[in-house]
């Protein structure tokens, strides 16, 4: 009698035993946690790493930074050459008068020198307009005091006073200035005055001696027919010894010839 053999459909199926099946049985809590918590977390971490290490450096050109040169003190036309070579742009943030700088010189920059920048960055500059020029006011026919006030209003200062003698011009008034009225000179420049002394020779004007050495101050006083008076010493480390710090009469004051001028002079003791 032939033996009956079970067909392959009737034979029991062997269950495959893998790592996940063994350690994370289907339907178990561990499997659910792994599939719905751990696996998404791993994917998110991988995405963050890929974005941070690959995508962002490409988008932001990470590693292409370089220190910004110092353009302060250069002329703008000179700085443009370096900016073009570095692939940088520039903007003029403002323009200012600067007595010590020529027109077109860069006074300040932002970002400051040595800041890490990338090509394409716009650098902002403050540009010098040079010295501000002002016109000399007409002070002819005015007193020295009024001429000083007019010069100060214009942003200028009194320079030297020279003497003229004339019977047709009132005494003790300004004959003319030099440079002449109407000329444009840098802001803060001195203007010299020619003053009519007439026939009299018994008055003078106080010169500026502050900032001069004592010997120079005495000579200047004597040139103006004045005499040094009481000399007082004061300790001041900011000035060289024997430098005049104060004078007893203001610059331009009308004084009799021979007037004594008291001085305060520096020392370092």
Its CATH architecture, for the domain 206-269, is: 2-Layer Sandwich (3.30)
The per-residue pLDDT for 225 is 87
How much is the pLDDT for 266?
Answer: 94
Backbone φ and ψ for 126, nearest 5 degrees, come out as -105, 120
Its sign, for the CA torsion 72, 77, 82, 87, is: positive
Beta-carbon contacts of 129 under 8 Å, excluding residues fewer than 6 positions away, are 95, 96, 97, 98, 103
Task: Indicate the fold that domain 132-201 takes in CATH.
Answer: Trypsin Inhibitor V; Chain A (3.30.10)
Single out the residue of 175, 112, 120, 174 nearest to residue 149, CA to CA.
174
Domain residue extents for the chain: 26-60, 66-128, 132-201, 206-269
- Return d(Cα 135, Cα 258) in angstroms, integer: 36
Backbone angles phi, psi at 133, to 5 degrees: -95, 135
pLDDT of the residue at 63: 53
| Residue-by-residue pLDDT tens, the chain, 269 positions | 455 444 444 555 555 555 556 666 676 677 677 677 777 888 888 888 887 777 666 665 555 789 999 999 999 999 999 999 999 999 999 999 887 888 999 999 999 999 999 988 999 999 999 888 999 999 999 999 999 999 999 999 999 999 888 766 788 899 999 999 999 999 889 999 999 887 656 778 899 999 999 999 999 999 888 999 999 999 988 889 999 999 999 998 888 888 999 999 999 77
- The answer to whether 66-128 and 132-201 have equal CATH topology is yes
Q: How far is CA 50 from the centre of its chain?
A: 45
Q: Look at the block and give the residue holding tokens 């004007």.
A: 205
pTM over 0.75: no
How high is the pLDDT of residue 19? 58
- The architecture of the domain spanning 66-128 is 2-Layer Sandwich (3.30)
pLDDT at 1: 44
CA-based nearest residue to 116, from 61, 67, 64, 57: 67
């Amino acid at each position: 009698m032939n033996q009956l053999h079970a067909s392959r459909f009737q034979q029991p199926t062997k269950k495959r035993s893998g790592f996940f099946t063994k350690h994370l049985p289907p339907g178990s809590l561990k499997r659910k946690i792994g599939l719905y918590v751990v696996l998404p977390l791993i994917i998110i971490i991988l995405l963050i790493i890929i974005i941070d290490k690959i995508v962002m450096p490409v988008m932001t050109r990470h590693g292409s930074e370089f220190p910004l040169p110092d353009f302060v003190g250069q002329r703008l036309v000179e700085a443009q050459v370096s900016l073009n070579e570095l692939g940088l742009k520039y903007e003029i943030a403002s323009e200012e008068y600067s007595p010590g700088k020529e027109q077109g010189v860069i006074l300040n920059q932002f970002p400051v020198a040595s800041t890490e920048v990338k090509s394409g960055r716009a650098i902002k500059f403050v540009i010098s307009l040079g010295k501000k020029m002002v016109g000399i006011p007409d002070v002819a026919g005015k007193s020295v005091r009024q001429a000083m006030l007019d010069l100060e209003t214009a942003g200028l200062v009194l320079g030297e006073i020279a003497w003229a003698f004339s019977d047709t011009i009132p005494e003790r008034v300004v004959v003319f200035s030099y440079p002449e009225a109407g000329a444009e000179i840098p802001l803060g420049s001195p203007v010299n005055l020619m003053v009519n002394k007439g026939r009299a020779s018994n008055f003078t004007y106080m010169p500026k001696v502050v900032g001069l050495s004592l010997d120079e101050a005495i000579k200047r006083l004597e040139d103006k027919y004045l005499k040094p008076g009481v000399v007082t010493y004061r300790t001041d480390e900011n000035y060289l010894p024997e430098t005049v710090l104060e004078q007893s009469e203001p610059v331009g004051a009308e004084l009799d010839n021979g007037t004594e001028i008291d001085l305060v002079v520096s020392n370092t003791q």
